[in-house]
Amino acid sequence: MKNKILTLVVIGFMACTVLSFAGITGEKNNKAAIEKIGISEPDSQAVKESYSDDWQRFKSESEQKIHDNEHTIAVFKDKMVKSGKADYNKQIEKLEKTNRHLQKKLDQYKDDGKSSWEKFKKGFNKEMDKLGKAVNDLTTGNN
């Protein structure tokens, strides 16, 4: 019984050793292949600068869109008040609330890395496009 257990332990140890060695060799071969074809790891400083520039540009463009939405909503709201059409108040309030929510979301964004940034950007753009379409639909359909 002891021989069987000892044999299994030795075989398990040898299997782990062989598999570990194969993994290390494969890793070295991958690095060598990457170096051979000239792919280098991105410079972290360059990536950070590019990411920072992208964020600043995105934030500026988004703030401009939010400001444009505020202006369009205010003009439409004023037009509805002057014409006596109060039945659009709930829709206007909903658009204003969404616009404020997007501004708050933009202001509160914290840098949590590139993947988080990409996810935030995608989701924010989707919400911004949806709001822009809703504003456009409301204002152009009621001239």
Encode burial over 3-19: b for 16+ CB neighbours within 10 A, e otherwise.
eeeeeeeeeeeeeeeee
Confidence band of 114 (pLDDT split at 50, 70, 90): confident
pLDDT single digits (tens) 65-111: 999 999 998 988 888 888 777 677 888 899 999 999 999 999 998 87
Which has the closest alpha carbon to 123: 106, 143, 111? 106
Contact 77, 93 (CB under 8 A): no
User: Between residues 49 and 96, which one has the greater pLDDT?
Assistant: 96
Give 143's DSSP letter. Answer: -
Give the Cα separation of 8 and 80 in Å (integer). 84
pLDDT of residue 61: 94
Confidence band of 46 (pLDDT split at 50, 70, 90): low
What mean pLDDT, rounded, does the chain reach?
78
